[in-house]
Amino acid sequence: MTRAILAGPDRDGLGTALEVQGIDVTRVEGVLTAPVLDDAGIDDADLFVLTDLDEATAISVVKDRNPDVRVVVYSHDSLPNFARGQTDLAMDPDLFGVDMVAEELA
């Protein structure tokens, strides 16, 4: 089973759409420190989905903990330059609906 960590608020319902596709979703919010990500199971995650780009520095922590994890940004905000090289996919919710994104990630 595919495991995903959804980090940040889920105003668009992406977490539910991922679960409908059979993905096991762990949700985390707040400051994304290494211990928070470890507790969420980042070592075993297949996907890390970030919706709060104020926490974009977590992407480097995620990749350090799990180099094979696929990093997906789903946000209306712009991805900071420092995080672009470690992000596999960045999508704007205004352009890509949750059902389509979930289907592609599954």
SS3 state of residue 56 = coil
Under DSSP, the state recorded for 54 is G
Amino acid at 98: V
Q: What is the pLDDT of residues 61-92, one digit of tens each?
A: 999 999 999 999 999 999 999 999 999 999 99
Looking from the CA of 43 toward its CB, the CA atoms found within 13 Å total: 4
Model confidence, pTM: 0.95
Quote the pLDDT of residue 13.
96
Quote the pLDDT of residue 6.
98
Alpha carbon distances (Å) from 10 to 48, 65, 68, 82, 93: 13, 23, 24, 23, 11
Domains of the chain with CATH codes: 3-105 (3.40.50.2300)
